[in-house]
Amino acid sequence: MLKYRAMIEEIGPQVPEFLPHGILIFFGPQAPAELREVSLVHTGATLQGAIEVGDWLCFREPPGEGSETGRVLSYRVTAVGEVASANLAELGHLVVHFDGALEAALPGTISVAPALLHLPPVGTILELLRLEDCHDL
């Protein structure tokens, strides 16, 4: 079941500073300028169901030079803060910790595993899925 799909349209200039800490901050297009600096701004859709432990966060990267398809990177949701789903539904806002923690660090965050190795580029499709394998969607 697809719960959410959005496209990353803008990457704030300070976003790479969070990469070594394994944190990405997502915001919808209404994000004010000061939040855009630290966020991956995306066009979003309606959240179709609450984010739950066991869901998948997938990044479908755009095709590169000489390639017909881009990479698909999958991360298993290991913890969900109590307001993470509401924040995503209302603001397009989601903070993701790529630490595999079993408890969310803050009420508006989720944790996923494995670790984040690189920043998803502009044009990447972000998906939240309730499937055993997001590659088959």
Which residues have a catalytic role annotated? 42
What count of residues does the chain have?
A: 137
Cis geometry, peptide bond prior to residue 114 (ω within 30 degrees of 0): yes
Helix residue ranges, H only, the chain? 33-36, 84-91
Sign for the pseudo-dihedral over CA of 34, 106, 41, 68 = positive
